């Protein structure tokens, strides 16, 4: 869980995962058989009925080469009403349909006595290692990821991250968290990434430009691919503030060497669990707490460090994978030792 490397001076959460935010759960379904190397990852903001108890949310498009489903309504209304699902690009439609059916089972009123539901599905292209044209992720995998969602979860080549490539190494799912104090109370900021971007020559780990050292043994490729960032917090925040922290995800990505390439789909989504918004509003005025603006810089720093660490964690935790057409991507852990970045080595 997480890494022992020091990326900043902000304390990490107990698990060093996005699930350090109380109530947040993550689950995976992984497909690994020959040319099929893919899956789905589910992020649940809480364990209750998310349609009935929505949470404030925001989405920010850093670079729009992507096929996200569900972002338009979130940008307009500022609420999340389903789990967030991550998968490969060509499975977005099937995963979205499966998520809709899951929500319909929980809510017999949807589409009849109330409005429809807005499923949020985010994606990256895993076609190098996965038979993406086969569209292998469907109802079974979505149900499995939702069913097994828990506070403890794996990172690396699992779930939606199974077929992803980062900086020419094996990429995938990475996560990290930070702890902040406001008014004598602890709050959490968590990040989860689906990493599928970058060139090895640009790779930076905790401020050390290791890419050129590793690149001498490998042909260089241009910065390509995508990254999805999911941010969670229990800090009371407005949707405007959530949008602002989404924008800072790009700084964390850049600190790992990412250049936000021309063909990169880079999307950040954020939510807070501090406020719940009932679907059936009984009052005309809803109470909503929000963080004082003077404290936003602390949150920005926490987001940047958590995103940076989550990217590197996705690579260190990923096992080597051989997939479609025999294509192979090695684990960063086979090229770089974590001990080289231990606190005493970083001084």
Catalytic member of 91, 96, 176, 226:
226
User: Do strands 120-124 and 84-88 pair parallel, antiparallel, or not at all (unpaired)?
Assistant: parallel
Catalytic residue check, 154: no
Is residue 186 within 8 Å of residue 302, measured between CB atoms? no
C-alpha distances out from residue 92 to 52, 60, 67, 88, 339, Å: 24, 19, 8, 7, 39
**Where does the chain show beta strands of DSSP type E?**
25-33, 36-44, 53-64, 79-80, 84-88, 120-124, 165-166, 169-170, 172-182, 185-196, 204-205, 208-209, 226-233, 265-272, 277-278, 321-322, 328-329
Report the alpha-carbon distance of residue 116 to residue 137 in Å, rounded.
24
Catalytic residue among 199, 238, 250, 264: 264
The single residue of 81, 266, 308, 309 carrying the catalytic annotation is 266
The CA-atom distances, in angstroms, between 341 and each of 38, 161, 206 are 31, 24, 8
3-state secondary structure of 146: helix
Q: Determine if residue 29 is left, alpha or beta; phi over 0 gives left, psi from -120 to 50 gives alpha, anything else beta.
A: beta
Is 266 assigned a catalytic role?
yes
Who's near 209: CB < 8 A, 6+ residues apart?
203, 257
Phi/psi for 72 (5° steps) reads -65, -45
**Residue 233 backbone dihedrals phi, psi, to 5 degrees:** -155, 155
In angstroms, the CA 268 to CA 230 distance is: 6
The answer to whether 226 is a known catalytic residue is yes
Kindly write down the DSSP assignment for every residue of 215-262, as one continuous string.
HTTS----S--EEEEEEEE-S---HHHHHHHHHHHHHHHHTTT----T
Inter-residue contact 182 to 235 (CB < 8 Å):
yes
Active-site positions read 226, 264, 266
């Amino acid at each position: 869980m997480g890494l022992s490397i020091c990326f900043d001076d902000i304390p990490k959460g107990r698990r060093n995962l996005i699930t350090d935010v109380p109530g947040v759960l993550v689950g995976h379904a992984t497909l690994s058989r020959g040319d099929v190397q893919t899956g789905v990852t589910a992020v649940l903001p809480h364990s209750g009925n998310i349609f009935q108890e929505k949470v404030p949310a925001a989405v920010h498009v850093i670079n729009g080469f992507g096929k996200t489903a569900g972002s338009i309504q979130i940008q307009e209304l500022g609420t999340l009403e389903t789990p967030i699902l991550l998968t490969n690009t060509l499975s977005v439609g099937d995963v979205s349909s499966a998520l809709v059916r899951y929500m319909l089972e929980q809510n017999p009123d949807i589409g009849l006595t109330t409005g429809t539901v807005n499923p949020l599905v985010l994606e990256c292209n895993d076609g190098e290692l996965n038979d993406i044209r086969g569209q292998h992720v469907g109802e079974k995998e979505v149900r499995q990821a939702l069913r097994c969602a828990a506070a403890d979860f794996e990172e690396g080549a699992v779930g939606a991250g199974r077929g992803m490539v980062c900086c020419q190494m094996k990429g995938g799912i990475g996560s990290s968290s930070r702890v902040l104090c406001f008014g004598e109370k602890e709050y959490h900021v968590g990040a989860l990434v689906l990493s599928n971007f970058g060139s090895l020559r640009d790779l930076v780990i905790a401020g050390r430009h290791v890419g050129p050292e590793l690149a001498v043994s490998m042909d260089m490729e241009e910065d390509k691919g995508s990254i999805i960032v999911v941010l969670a917090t229990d800090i009371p925040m407005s949707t405007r503030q959530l949008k602002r922290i989404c924008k800072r995800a790009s700084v964390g990505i850049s600190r790992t060497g990412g250049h936000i390439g021309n063909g990169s789909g880079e999307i950040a989504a954020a939510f807070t669990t501090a406020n719940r918004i009932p679907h059936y509003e009984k009052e005309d005025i809803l109470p909503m707490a929000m963080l004082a603006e003077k404290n936003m810089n602390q949150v920005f720093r926490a987001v940047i460090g958590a995103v940076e660490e989550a990217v590197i964690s996705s690579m260190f935790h990923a096992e080597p994978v051989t997939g479609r057409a025999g294509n192979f991507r090695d684990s960063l852990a086979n090229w770089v030792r974590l001990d080289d970045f231990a606190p005493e080595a970083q001084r």
